[in-house]
Amino acid sequence: MAKLFGSSGVRGLANVDLTPELACKVGLAVAAHAKAKLALVAKDTRVSGSMLEDALVSSLLSSGTDVFLAGMIPTPTLAYATKSLGADVGFMLTASHNPPQYNGIKVFRSDSLSYTDEDQDAVEKNVVQGTFRLADWRSLGKTTQMDASQVYLEMAVKAATGLCKPWRVVVDPGCGATFNIAPELLKAVGCKVTSLNAQPDGFFPARKSEPTAESLQDLANVVKALRADVGIAFDGDGDRIAFVDEKGVFVNFDRSLAAYSAYALQGNKGGTVVTNVEASMCVETMVHAQGGKVIRTRVGDIYVSEALKQSGAIFGGEPCGAWVHPKHHYCPDGPLSAVLMLKALEEENKTLSQFISAVPEYVTKRENIVCKNEQKYKIVEKIGDALKIAFPGYLDFSTVDGVRLALKDGWLLVRASGTEPLIRLTAEGESLAVANNITLKTTKLIKNQIEAEIK
Ligand code: MG
């Protein structure tokens, strides 16, 4: 059978791949794996949310698990509440930033960390083997409505202690799961809030649920027209954040991540930051300047969260806007990141564009090289040695996800596409000339390797 879990839980087209039947099986399999007595269940605003929720909850009750129904809340709120309300497991029905016809199930442990590869393998095995635990009729589970947003808001407001300025913020939940909590939190910490697309709507009629410069054009225009201090947007389930500065300019994800990393280290007098192999080297530039260290993981927020927990690092994030603040919990958290960013700006007495301007702008190039599915992994495995010879002065070599080579003035990453017959090359340089040179040299090496493989 196809692998049920991807890097962000179970995901697929609603009622095609992800049916009530599958939701039911996942619920039973997780309940058996977690030996769950109490589960927290929430959903984003998608049209298929209630259908899947009913099936999932039914399976949990059938396994003898009591269920707290948290309704429509963001993923980080669900994860934090799973921990603070003492549930054994948390379920979030969401397909994150994907289009509205998709849905998914993200599962969280009692410590707010999302299910690891080991947990997911165990659940998948339970699904395949039908290892389900059915309760006696006298000990079926019970449901209780639970306002999980209160414990979360208390935590987030406390985290923003020290914020005094009435920041003028335009917030754009994009009709997703942050529609209520994000404006409420920003108001609770004293901001003057204008909300855009803050009505829950599972068709995502206003903009794509993935925040990008293109999808946030309306937000940028409103920030400019109102002369607001900052624009803030989230993806469909609120575990990603994106910013627009006071000039109405979309802030590059890598640069906001790097700027906040430096700020977090400054307050801590050094320490470790975690990011993935795809992030710009401006993260290192900023972190090293603070005497800190960078750990790079595979792509996927669970790997960042796991590394944060293991290393005791103080901040972590991916360049898609998924930022994790381990002091509070281990799930990437958009609304919490929003108020912490405002706190950073206030402490540094800077506008957002000034805060970001400290981060150097490097040049990134991306190239897709056609390669047969049955060959692509082998090519990536073999390319490492050729790369080391081609770039003898390299500073670091890593195979944590594909092959990554760090150079003095840039870096490159070669990965096999998970879904297409392609090898993906990402290269970054201090200048366009450096980025071009790395790209040309590496593309040639990969093509030679593919040809050698064919012969
Ligand atoms: Mg998301």
Do domains 152-244 and 363-454 share one topology? The answer is no
* CATH code for the part of the protein at 152-244: 3.40.120.10
User: From the CA of 239, how far away is ligand 1's center (Å)?
Assistant: 5
Place of tokens 């007098």: 269
Per-residue pLDDT of the chain (455 residues), as tens digits, is: 457 887 778 999 999 999 999 999 999 999 999 999 999 999 999 999 999 999 999 999 999 999 999 999 999 999 999 999 999 999 999 999 999 999 999 999 999 999 999 999 999 999 999 999 999 999 999 999 999 999 999 999 999 999 999 999 999 999 999 999 999 999 999 999 999 999 999 999 999 999 999 999 999 999 999 999 999 999 999 999 999 999 999 999 999 999 999 999 998 888 999 999 999 999 999 999 999 999 999 999 999 999 999 999 999 999 999 999 999 999 999 999 999 999 999 999 999 999 999 999 999 999 999 999 999 999 999 999 999 999 999 999 999 999 999 999 999 999 998 778 999 999 999 999 999 999 999 999 999 999 988 77
**pTM (2 decimals)?**
0.95
CA of 94 to the centre of ligand 1 (A): 8
Options 3.30.160.270, 1.10.10.10, 1.10.3720.10, 3.40.120.10; CATH of 253-357: 3.40.120.10
Residue matched to tokens 């949310």 = 49
Residues with catalytic function: 96
Using the mean position of ligand 1's atoms as its centre, give its distance from the Cα of residue 395 in Å. 33
Q: Give the CA radius of gyration of the chain.
A: 22
- Cα(8) to ligand 1 centroid in Å equals 9
Query: Rounded distance, CA 7 to CA 184, Å?
Result: 31
Each residue's pLDDT tens digit, 383-433: 999 999 999 999 999 999 999 999 999 999 999 987 789 999 999 999 999
Amino acid identity for residue 45 in this structure: T
Query: 80-128, pLDDT tens digit by residue?
Result: 999 999 999 999 999 999 999 999 999 999 999 999 999 999 999 999 9
Q: Strands of 192-195's sheet, edge to edge?
A: 192-195, 168-172, 230-234, 241-244
- Residue 389: CB partners within 8 Å, gap ≥ 6? none
| Alpha helices (runs of H) in 312-372, residue ranges in sequence order | 334-348, 352-357
Q: What angle do CA 305, 258, 260 make, to 5 degrees?
A: 80
Domain boundaries, the chain: 5-147, 152-244, 253-357, 363-454
5-147 maps to CATH 3.40.120.10: yes
Handedness of CA 447, 449, 451, 453 (dihedral sign): negative
Burial group, residue 362, by CB count within 10 angstroms (0-12, 13-18, 19+): buried
Give residue 241 CA to ligand 1 midpoint distance, Å. Answer: 9
Instruction: Calculate how far, in angstroms, residue 324's C-alpha sits from the geometric centre of ligand 1.
Output: 12
Q: What's the sign of the alpha-carbon dihedral 42, 45, 49, 50? A: positive
Tell the CATH topology of 363-454.
TATA-Binding Protein (3.30.310)
